[in-house]
Amino acid sequence: MRSAEITKNRIVDAARQVFSQNGYGDASMRLIAQVADISVGCLYIHFKNKEDLYLTLMRQWMDDLDAQTQEVLARVDDPADSIREYINITLQFAQGHREVIMLQGCELGVALGLELKRAFFCRRRLLLRALIESGVRSGAFSPCDLDEVTKVLFNTLRGFVFSLVVDDEALFSAEACSNVILNGLLRRNDL
């Protein structure tokens, strides 16, 4: 790995730590440079400002989740298992990246990168809709309003993710979520 790449990774790691401990508003380029153990001038060689660094961190997190989801779903054929995996990956990833969730929840963080976040949520919703549609087409899931079912499931997961910031007591397991969702989607032969 090149020296510049190593330095950039150190900066991103330091930014993640500083943003999660101090929030966006109280984080500074000077503090990030200090935690990364580099000069402020070196920091500005890699990132033009705090917003650029924040957006890089968000983009990295979103790309990682998308890549992990695609990798796992590529190995799954069963529609119910694909929904289970989507739920499991989403919840586990959120739990493993609480600092990013907390950062997104801060006032300034919500406004920063709004278009980036909208595009990310749109991709995630479209993927989920495709999984549900595949299950309906295969006959594994009952016919349903794909858009509404997608919204319900997607926003259930978003609620879980954002509850990580404020209420550990409200958290539920990926398995419990999958069971509730799939009991509403799976075709029942006895009806």
Per-residue confidence in pLDDT tens, the chain, 191 aa = 688 899 999 999 999 899 888 888 889 999 999 999 999 999 999 999 999 998 999 899 999 999 999 999 999 999 999 999 999 999 888 888 877 776 665 544 457 788 888 999 999 999 999 999 999 999 999 899 999 999 999 998 888 777 776 666 656 677 777 777 777 666 666 54
Q: How many domains does the chain fold into? A: 2
Q: How far apart are CA 59 and CA 159, in angstroms?
A: 21
167 and 82 fall within a common domain:
yes
67 and 94 fall within a common domain:
yes
Q: What are phi and psi of 141, to 5 degrees?
A: -110, 150
Q: Among candidates 106, 102, 104, 99, which has minimal Cα distance to 25?
A: 106
Q: How far apart are CA 117 and CA 93, in angstroms?
A: 16
Q: How far apart are CA 83 and CA 140, in angstroms?
A: 12
129 and 100 fall within a common domain:
yes
Residue 13: what pLDDT?
93
24 and 63 fall within a common domain:
no
**Domain residue limits at 21:** 1-47
Q: What pTM value is reported for the model?
A: 0.83
Give me the helices (H) in 37-113, please: 40-46, 50-73, 79-96, 98-105, 107-111
Residue 159: what pLDDT?
82
CB 29 within 8 A of CB 15: no
Q: How far apart are CA 143 and CA 186, in angstroms?
A: 9
40 and 88 fall within a common domain:
no
Q: What is the CATH number of the domain that holds 128?
A: 1.10.357.10
Question: What's the Cα-to-Cα distance from 45 to each of 13, 41, 66, rounded to whole Å?
Answer: 16, 7, 28
21 and 2 fall within a common domain:
yes
Residue 109: what pLDDT?
46
Residue 37: what pLDDT?
94
Burial track 128-167 (b if 16+ CB lie within 10 A, e otherwise): bbebbbbbbeeebbeebeeeebbeebbeebeebbbbbeee
161 and 76 fall within a common domain:
yes
